Structure 1
Amino acid sequence: MKDTIYNSIAQLGTRIKNYGYLLANPTYSKVRRGRGCADLYRLLNQDWFPRNKIQLVLDVGANEGQFIRTSLALMPKVPIYAFEPNPASVQKLQMSNWDGGKVKIFSVALGSKAVRLPLNISKFSPASSLLQPSSKLSSEFPETEIEATVDVKIERLDTLIQAIGVEQGYFLLKIDVQGFELEVLEGAIGIFDQVAVIVCEVNIATLYEKQCSFESIVAFLRHYQYNLIDISNPIRSHITHELMYLDLAFIKNELST
């Protein structure tokens, strides 16, 4: 009986807290209604995030535009370069009516070198990856079954940005590439002088074969003078309750307060 009362009070407290957050942040409800990234909105909607300094958002692994919606809610005047190799997702991105034409879509995957690799396309498109899924992924998330494989072009992010000729200014780099994050970061070293903040989804459990680790990403970015400043609420296994994955937020040391 006591446990039931406690749980009811805890749930009521959470609802009141969430309602208060909605009242304090009106654009949050827009993100939730529009299938944006609610967790990333909360992660970036903090005092540490220098949103007034960000002049360009680089959305690596844009999928169907979930983070684009989040970024436009947080920073409506900041343009976005979205990178996505899945042809079906690219088509949806191109068909979307993005606010004021602020979004440019690049049909390409990003990595440490220019090559071609097979992309494993999942029935649940956000789980598509350049890596092979593990048995743990399929057992935890049956909807992630691979339904097709397509050959895609890989480019370095720094090479692309330098070729485009982006003006000087600070970038927000968001990465969500299902275990391929370190490859993307290694291909972005040439623009790290302009990347102020990095938001990166990282797997804690082994969900893809040869995926990079939490420790390797933190060590790599620490070497390049980035400080791990915040994390999102982690996703846990519905079977064992162990950590599955979470988002990490890094800020350039010179901008830390």
Structure 2
Amino acid sequence: MTTPCQLRALLAPERLTAVVDVGANPIDGEPPYKVMLEGGLCCVVGFEPQPDALARLNAAKGPLETYLPYAIGAGGWQVLHVCQSQGMTSLFEPDPVALAAFPGLAEWGLVISRVALETRPLAAVAEIANLDFLKMDLQGGELAVIETAGGLLDQAVCVQAEVSLIPLYKNQPAFGAIDLALRARGFVPHMLAAMSRRMILPLRRPDRFAAINQIVEADAVYVRNFMVPDAMNAEQLKQLALIAHHVYRSYDLALNCVDRLAARGAVPADAMTRYLAMIPAA
């Protein structure tokens, strides 16, 4: 059942927002684009090479979702390190030195099996027709996805990537490498959608998730550079406005897109006034 959307009606984009979810394992809760998916505003192509996680995704999917068993990466055969905690399974080998600094991580990151996987560059996946919003959560493999996305990434207007401030895997690219790669492709940081903190040993608490200040990982959101007037075509501006509004409640960014569209004559002249009326008062 499609939920009517005033903003989509105002913007009249050419198609539904195209979401690509690399590492779609539902273990971490609801995806950031859930509101758009439930409203019938986006379609999703997701990737999850772990069979049980893929089965859960396919069992719960709706008509706008497609999930595939491909491992997205640099291409060629690589080793998947299956860990005690499914959320730590990665193409990178866990780093016992880093894990030993935080409660629980050495146990959760214990490798219980190794599986050979053939990885595919994102640009080589025929099932992806369009890409507006790229979400990545694959325990260290985000940089390889960016570097092999090719022209697909030129279409995208928003990227949400799990980034590591303290790499937990051997040779894992850190936050700085992801930041530089995305900036080189025309993106700028927008927000941190979530942060994961861990307590530093030897201090302990009964709750293993208790923490003080040490940040380990974060979900970093990048958007195509809205400060450059010609960085986006009209369709990209429309898609960014929809994502900013529905996914992140970044009403200022959405209004900026609407303003640029109005200046180009791509939306009605009163679009800014009409959009301002849609923004929640709070």
Tell me the TM-score normalized by structure 2.
Answer: 0.64
Q: Which runs of 5+ in 2 are unaligned?
A: 1-10, 202-212, 226-230, 232-236, 238-252, 257-282
1:192/1:64 Cα in 2 relative to 1: closer, same or farther (>3 Å)? same
Of 42, 48, 61, the residue aligned with 1:98 is 61
Of 104, 109, 116, the residue aligned with 2:71 is 109
Match of 2:118 in 1: 153
Is 1:86 paired with 2:58?
no
Match of 2:214 in 1: 242
- Identity within the alignment, %: 24
Kindly report the root-mean-square deviation, in angstroms, between the aligned alpha carbons of the 2 structures. Answer: 2.3
Distance 1:131 1:185 in 2: 16
Match of 1:39 in 2: none
Q: Which amino acid aligns with 1:164?
A: E
Q: Please state whether the residue corresponding to 2:183 is helix, strand or coil.
A: helix
Match of 1:125 in 2: 86
Q: Which runs of 5+ in 1 are unaligned?
A: 1-49
- 1:93: how far off? 2.1
Map Cα deviations across residues 60-82 of structure 1 (whole Å, 9 max, x no partner).
01113756654233442111111
CA contact (8 A) 1:228 1:250 kept: yes
- 1:122: how far off? 1.6
Q: Please state whether the residue corresponding to 2:60 is helix, strand or coil.
A: coil
Match of 2:23 in 1: 61
- 1:120: how far off? 0.7
- 1:139: how far off? 4.8
Q: Please state whether the residue corresponding to 1:221 is helix, strand or coil.
A: helix
CA contact (8 A) 2:73 2:121 kept: yes
Q: Please state whether the residue corresponding to 2:177 is helix, strand or coil.
A: helix
Match of 1:72 in 2: 34
Match of 1:164 in 2: 127
Q: Please state whether the residue corresponding to 2:216 is helix, strand or coil.
A: strand
How many residue pairs end up in the alignment?
200
CA contact (8 A) 1:59 1:67 kept: no
Distance 1:218 1:186 in 2: 12
Of 202, 206, 220, the residue aligned with 2:163 is 202
Map Cα deviations across residues 154-174 of structure 1 (whole Å, 9 max, x no partner).
0011111xx23615xx51100
Greater Cα radius of gyration, structure 1 or 2: 2
CA contact (8 A) 1:111 1:183 kept: yes
